[in-house]
């Protein structure tokens, strides 16, 4: 199973990245579950996410990772070098597993090195090549990766495939040809095996049997594969065996057997392949965390049980000794007095010991003796009376009983925690990582489809309001607005058709939902629509129109008492999803999915509101798709909600 990109894979990845990310601006950086770094970039036409797993992969991703609520100190530090910078160049270093990305912001410039060999690394160097940041500082024989040092790539290994001479004796062994050639040319093993097969040479043939002609044919086959990738003649594919992905390739390799899943781009194929590995590893880590917690709790329980056993033994023994002394109080007291009397008369401890056969030993320093009582050896403190000795043992029994009570309560708590942790382990769902469905150009705005299928677009801010009217309001389109200052401009795209009354009413409902009326908690509001020709950016003489503001001339067509209701729904297809909205009076969302909720102005906001929406949708989705609903990033829901709180009907 392939666990990391090869140098051939990186050649294909870099080619595609150059067609997408050049001149893109880095908006943010995150580190998400699985240790994946997520670089969010704004390209000319849309937003793009670059996933980087050190030592494994770097690729554009359409999967929606859950973004941590608070960035780590590492991420905060890295953002200083990356956020706001523009991507100028992306290259593969010398056909190695290193991607270099040149970024600039004004006069500042850095090169970001994404190392994909070994355990991987992320290094940022300034224009002089001095390292400013390194994820994993290292000091090796041939390179030092530490801030302040010059960045040096690993020494070049292997012979150049196009022209390098094979070292004498390199192929005079009994090793398989594929193994020897991989070492000689420092090429990916899968590329070497495929090139040998295309050249008609068995990969397992002894390398010593290779002729000059064999070597020339192998070189030609390998160079043709490299040219396929360099020229973009890709056929991205994931190879599976028994439903389990085993490899991902930029072009077809007949030497790697299995079922095929083809993709439009190699980035997409790599994204699906490695994201599935991340999902599997994330599930293992989650289970391991809970299993580790259970193991620690079970260890605590064992210690508690052992301590309980010790205390119970001590309590029983102390109680029995106390009773024994009490029942032989006279004889014990006599022995105590005899010992003290003899000691005061100047006799040695050894001599005193011989006077009474019941005294087994005496510790003069501690003032105690071991005394045979009822067949048991009992420690007696002869500095105190027999009654006080009995009382001491009863006190020890009482203290042990008190500790036992507390310890047994603690044991019950531990067992409850173990039981809860085991329930939690059984409730752990297989992690879900979803891809966002392909976005259309208009999804950077607020948007919905009316019940009649017309596209409605709304501005998220003054800049978008300006763009909508200036660039997208066509001759037969409608301009729609709430009868309130501010708020979202909505346009209805006619697409050459007559716009029916129902769509006009839904467009007004869309506009009032994203107006101040929602935040104010008003149940109904008014709005209006006008044809495109009644809208102008030219104000009356002496007046000024700010960004996103327009003049509406002529008669307005009002729609009164429009209820503030929104439908928010989710479309699911395998591992892809899309969140959509529509107005409550229409059926555009219910006609597309049964997974939707109805929202009205209310008191829930932020995380609480999103949680309520997800739980309602997850219940409707059932056991299979409920986990997918919960895996949708909160931001994808929040971005579609009107400003202000809401309630789920």
399-453 pLDDT tens trace: 999 999 999 999 999 999 999 888 877 776 666 778 888 889 899 999 999 999 9
Percent of all residues in the chain with a pLDDT value above 70, rounded to a whole number? 98
- In the block, residue with structure tokens 């991205």: 236
Q: Are 275 and 52 in contact (CB under 8 A)?
A: no
pLDDT at 282 over 70: no
Beta bridge mates, 105 = 108
Paired with 530 in beta bridges are 479
- Count other Cβ atoms within 10 Å, centred on residue 548: 18
pLDDT at 45 over 90: no
Helix (H, G, I), strand (E, B) or coil at 103: strand
Non-local (6+) Cβ contacts of 498 within 8 A are none
SS3 131: strand
Higher pLDDT pick, 90 / 282 = 90
| Count, residues in the chain | 649
Q: Answer whether residue 569 shows pLDDT above 90.
A: yes
Computed over every residue of the chain, the mean pLDDT equals: 92
Grade residue 171 by pLDDT with cuts at 50, 70 and 90. confident
φ, ψ at 135 (rounded to 5°): -65, -45
% pLDDT > 90, the chain:
76
Residues 543 and 553: their CA atoms lie apart, in Å, by 15
Domain boundaries, the chain: 7-145, 177-262, 296-427, 441-648
Work out the average pLDDT over 522-540: 91
Token pair, residue 117, equals: 């060999």
b or e along 255-275 (b: 16 or more beta carbons within 10 Å of the residue's beta carbon)? bbeeeeeebebbbbbbbbbbb
Contacts of 233 (CB under 8 A, 6+ apart): 251
Q: Which of 258, 262, 253, 225 is nearest to 242 (CA)?
A: 258
Q: Flag whether pLDDT at 621 surpasses 80.
A: yes
pLDDT reported for residue 241: 94
SS3 249: strand
pLDDT above 80 (res 285) = no
How many angstroms separate the Cα of 225 from the Cα of each of 4, 130, 252, 350, 577?
20, 36, 10, 98, 36
The strand ranges marked E within 253-355 are 259-262
Residue 97: CB partners within 8 Å, gap ≥ 6?
4, 5, 6, 7, 10, 115, 116, 117
Report residue 4 as tokens: 């990391």
CATH of domain 7-145: 2.30.310.10
Q: What is the pLDDT of residue 431?
A: 61
For the record, the structure tokens of 260 come out as: 């095929």
Contact 335, 356 (CB under 8 A): yes
Mean pLDDT of 167-178: 84
């Amino acid at each position: 199973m392939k666990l990391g990109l090869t140098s051939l894979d990186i050649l294909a990845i870099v080619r595609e990245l150059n067609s997408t990310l050049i001149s893109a601006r880095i908006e943010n950086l995150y580190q998400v579950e699985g240790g994946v770094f997520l670089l969010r970039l704004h390209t000319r036409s849309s937003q793009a996410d670059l996933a980087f797993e050190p030592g494994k992969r770097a690729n554009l991703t359409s999967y929606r990772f859950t973004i941590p609520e608070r960035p780590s100190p590492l991420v905060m530090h890295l953002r200083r070098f990356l956020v706001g910078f523009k991507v100028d160049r992306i290259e593969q270093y010398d056909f190695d597993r290193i991607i270099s990305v040149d970024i600039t912001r004004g006069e500042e410039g850095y090169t970001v090195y994404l190392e994909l060999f070994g355990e991987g690394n992320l290094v940022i160097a300034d224009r002089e090549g001095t390292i400013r940041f390194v994820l994993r500082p290292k000091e090796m024989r041939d390179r030092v990766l530490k801030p302040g040092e010059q960045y040096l790539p690993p020494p070049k290994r292997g012979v150049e495939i196009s022209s390098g001479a094979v070292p004498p004796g390199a192929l005079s062994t009994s090793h398989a040809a594929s193994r020897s050639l991989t070492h000689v040319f420092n090429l990916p093993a899968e590329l070497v095996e495929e090139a040998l097969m295309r050249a008609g040479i068995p990969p397992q043939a002894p390398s010593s049997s290779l002729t000059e002609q064999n070597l020339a044919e192998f070189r030609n086959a390998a160079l043709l594969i490299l040219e396929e990738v360099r020229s973009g003649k890709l056929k991205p594919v994931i190879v599976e065996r028994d439903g389990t992905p085993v490899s991902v390739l930029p072009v077809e390799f007949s030497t790697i057997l299995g079922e095929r899943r083809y993709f439009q781009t190699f980035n997409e194929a790599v994204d699906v392949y490695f994201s599935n590995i991340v999902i599997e590893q994330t599930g293992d880590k989650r289970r391991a965390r809970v299993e580790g917690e259970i193991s620690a709790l079970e260890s605590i329980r064992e210690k508690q049980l052992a301590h309980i056993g010790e205390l119970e033994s001590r309590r029983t023994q102390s109680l029995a000794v106390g009773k024994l002394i009490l029942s032989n109080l006279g004889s014990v007291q006599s022995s105590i007095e005899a010992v003290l009397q003899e000691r005061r008369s100047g006799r040695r401890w050894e001599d005193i010991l011989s006077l009474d056969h019941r005294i087994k030993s005496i510790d003069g320093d501690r003032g105690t003796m071991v005394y045979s009582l009822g067949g048991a050896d009992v420690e007696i403190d002869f500095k105190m009376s027999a009654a006080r000795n009995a009382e001491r043992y009863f006190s020890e029994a009482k203290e042990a009983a008190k500790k036992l009570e507390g310890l047994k309560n603690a044991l019950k708590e531990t067992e409850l925690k173990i039981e809860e942790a085991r329930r939690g382990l059984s409730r752990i769902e297989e992690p879900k990582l979803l891809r966002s469905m392909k976005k259309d150009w208009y999804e950077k705005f607020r948007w919905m489809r009316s019940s009649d299928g017309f596209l409605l677009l709304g501005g998220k801010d003054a800049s978008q309001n300006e763009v909508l009217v200036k660039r997208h309001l066509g001759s037969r389109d409608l301009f729609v607005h709430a009868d309130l200052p501010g708020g979202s401009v909505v346009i209805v795209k006619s697409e050459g058709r007559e716009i029916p009354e129902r769509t006009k009413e839904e467009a007004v409902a869309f506009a009032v939902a994203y107006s101040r009326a929602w935040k104010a908690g008003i149940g109904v509001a008014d709005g209006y629509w006008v044809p495109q020709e009644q809208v102008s950016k030219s104000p009356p003489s002496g007046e000024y129109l700010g960004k996103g503001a327009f003049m509406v001339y002529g008669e307005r067509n009002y729609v009164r008492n429009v209820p503030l209701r929104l439908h928010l729904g989710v479309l699911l297809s395998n591992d892809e999803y899309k969140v959509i909205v529509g107005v409550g009076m229409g059926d555009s969302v219910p006609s597309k999915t049964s997974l939707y909720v109805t929202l009205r102005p209310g008191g829930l906001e932020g995380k609480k509101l999103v949680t309520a929406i997800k739980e309602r949708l997850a219940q409707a989705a059932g056991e299979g798709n409920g986990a997918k609903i919960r895996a949708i990033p909160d931001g994808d829901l929040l971005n579609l909600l009107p400003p202000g709180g809401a309630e789920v009907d």
